[in-house]
Amino acid sequence: MPANKKLLVLPGDGIGPEVVREVRRVIDWLDRRRQVTFDVEEGLVGGAAIDALGHPCPDRTMEQALAADAILFGSVGGPKWDSLPFEGRPELGILRLRKELGLFANLRPALVWSPLAQASSLKADLVDGLDLMIVRESTGGIYFGEPRGIETLPDGTRRGFDTETYSEEEIARVARIGFELAAKRSGRLTSVDKANVMQSGRFWREIVTRTAAEFPNVELSHMYADNCAMQLASRPKQFDVILASNLFGDLLSDLAAAVTGSLGMLPSATLGAPDSSGRRHALYEPIHGSAPDIAGKGIANPCAQILSFAMLLRWSFGMEEDARLIENAVEKVLSGGLRTADIMVPGAARVGTSIMGEAVVRELDKMAA
Ligand code: IPM
Ligand code: MG
């Protein structure tokens, strides 16, 4: 039996704990059925950590995160903590984890599951079969750039400011992840910037273009971020891999997710660089947030969290077969007609979070039989 895999689970706030609970069923299933066991530890993050320990990402959580082979993250934030000062808000939980674990490559697939093509706000034929990947830089850019602040000038007026800054290496390393992915997919990479107005954008384009020479089999194109938003909202299937900075990737990945019509279905992975022994930190989380409006009602869609766990198996443990098994189980549940409220269509059977999770495990049982 392979050595235990050390998993840190951070449910967080809102619907996080509810959907993470459904992943625990899948983990238990794997423990029972396959030749692998997980050593699962839980930790505190976001508002839950503020309430218990007074910090959105306490040092204890950082220690757990550093020791884990992979992190499964739920979501953070909610109205309860909205009035906290900037330095204390729940969102800092995820930002500290990304920064201090060096999780610079955020992989955000936008995929339309055929049974759900009707759920998009676009015409079904524009999105049916959509399968694109956004590679978002996630430890640099304007999210972390200095100087930043709000200050009062000598004349008594005030200003707020942030800094968009990228070093050569920060751009090149995330670009390589994009090129590697594109090489395994259709061989096309679209890099997004505002090289027409931003110096950091010109630089981004220069470094991505230079890095492309390492990947002769990938066709690189560049697109301005505003145009990319328009293209995503009108002809999303033209894209395969999109490479973007932290801020543009944040915006474009929400847009791409909305285009699929099923935010509750989309997972993500955030990867660090491998160390000399090949070990890399990695965190997996659904794209949807903490959805405070439906938290505690038992109606959230657990699929994005379950699919985040499938990504974890694939990227952190090389368990491709098991990842696919889980993805196929989810697909079977959908084509069987079960739907949570967010992906409901007329004629389908509307179910809650735990029925959906149980159905996925039942499909896993059938497939493994
Ligand atoms: C995301 C979220 C975060 C971000 C927030 C919660 C800090 O919007 O993961 O896309 O802006 O990166
Ligand atoms: Mg976002």
- pLDDT of 2 reads 57
Q: How many domains does the chain have?
A: 2
Q: Kindly report the protein residue whose alpha carbon is nearest to atom 2 of ligand 1.
A: 250
Q: Are residue 252 and residue 279 in the same domain, yes or no?
A: no
Q: Kindly report the protein residue whose alpha carbon is nearest to atom 3 of ligand 1.
A: 91
Is 226 designated active site? Answer: yes
Is 143 designated active site? Answer: yes
Q: Are residue 101 and residue 174 in the same domain, yes or no?
A: no
Asked, as a colleague might, if the bond just before 147 is cis with ω within 30 of 0, I would say yes
* Helical ranges in 286-342 per DSSP H: 303-317, 320-335
Q: Which residues pair with 66 in a beta bridge?
A: none
Q: Are 161 and 174 in contact (CB under 8 A)?
A: no
34 C-alpha vs ligand 2 centroid, how far in Å?
35
Q: Kindly report the protein residue whose alpha carbon is nearest to atom 6 of ligand 1.
A: 91
The residue from 260, 293, 315 where one domain ends is 260
Q: What is the mean pLDDT of residues 174-194?
A: 98
Give 48-71 pLDDT, tens digit per residue: 999 999 999 999 999 999 999 999
For residue 309, pLDDT over 60 is answered with yes
268 C-alpha vs ligand 2 centroid, how far in Å?
11
pTM for the predicted model, two decimal places: 0.94
| Ligand 1 neighbour 95 (Cβ under 6 A) | yes
Burial class of residue 282, CB neighbours in 10 A (0-12, 13-18, 19+): buried
- pLDDT of 352 reads 97
Domain membership flag for residue 306: yes
Q: Are 133 and 236 in contact (CB under 8 A)?
A: no
- Catalytic position from the list 226, 275, 293, 365: 226
The residue from 228, 260, 292 where one domain ends is 260
Q: Are residue 254 and residue 142 in the same domain, yes or no?
A: yes
- Three-class secondary structure of residue 53 per DSSP: helix
- Residue type for position 338: L
Percent of the chain with pLDDT over 70: 99
Q: Which of 233, 269, 255, 241 is nearest to 184 (CA)?
A: 241
Domain membership flag for residue 167: yes
- pLDDT of 34 reads 67
Mean pLDDT, the chain, whole residue set:
95
- pLDDT of 115 reads 82
- pLDDT of 121 reads 82
For residue 218, pLDDT over 90 is answered with yes
- pLDDT of 126 reads 94
- Catalytic position from the list 250, 322, 332, 342: 250
Q: Which H/E stretch holds residue 203? A: helix 199-212
* Tokens 């508002």 found at: 47
Q: Kindly report the protein residue whose alpha carbon is nearest to atom 8 of ligand 1.
A: 250
- pLDDT of 3 reads 62
- pLDDT of 100 reads 97
| Ligand 1 neighbour 91 (Cβ under 6 A) | yes
DSSP codes joined into one string, 230-256 = HHHHH-GGG-SEEEE-HHHHHHHHHHH
For residue 215, pLDDT over 80 is answered with yes
The residue segments making up the domain with residue 61 are 1-107+270-369
Assign residue 9 the CATH number of its domain.
Answer: 3.40.718.10
Is 250 designated active site? Answer: yes
The pair of structure tokens assigned to 61 is 């959580």
- Catalytic position from the list 5, 143, 193, 284: 143
Is 254 designated active site? Answer: yes
Q: What is the mean pLDDT of residues 230-259?
A: 96
Q: How confident is the model at residue 368 (pLDDT cuts 50, 70, 90)?
A: confident
Q: Are residue 83 and residue 133 in the same domain, yes or no?
A: no
| Ligand 1 neighbour 250 (Cβ under 6 A) | yes
Q: Are residue 277 and residue 363 in the same domain, yes or no?
A: yes
- pLDDT of 1 reads 52
> Closest ligand 1 atom to the C-alpha of 106?
9
Q: What is the mean pLDDT of residues 323-343?
A: 95
> Closest ligand 1 atom to the C-alpha of 95?
7
Give 75-107 pLDDT, tens digit per residue: 999 999 999 998 899 999 999 999 999 999 999
d(CA 68, CA 283) in angstroms, rounded, equals 10
As separate numbers, helices (DSSP H) first and strands (DSSP E) second, the chain gives 12, 14
Q: Which H/E stretch holds residue 37? A: none
d(CA 244, CA 90) in angstroms, rounded, equals 25
Between 21 and 262, the more confident residue is 21
d(CA 305, CA 311) in angstroms, rounded, equals 10
Domain membership flag for residue 319: yes
- pLDDT of 201 reads 98
Between 4 and 288, the more confident residue is 288
Ligand 1 pocket mutation pick from 75, 94, 283 by most atoms within 8 angstroms of CB = 94
Give 317-329 pLDDT, tens digit per residue: 999 999 999 999 9
For residue 260, the Cα-to-chain-centroid distance in whole angstroms is 15
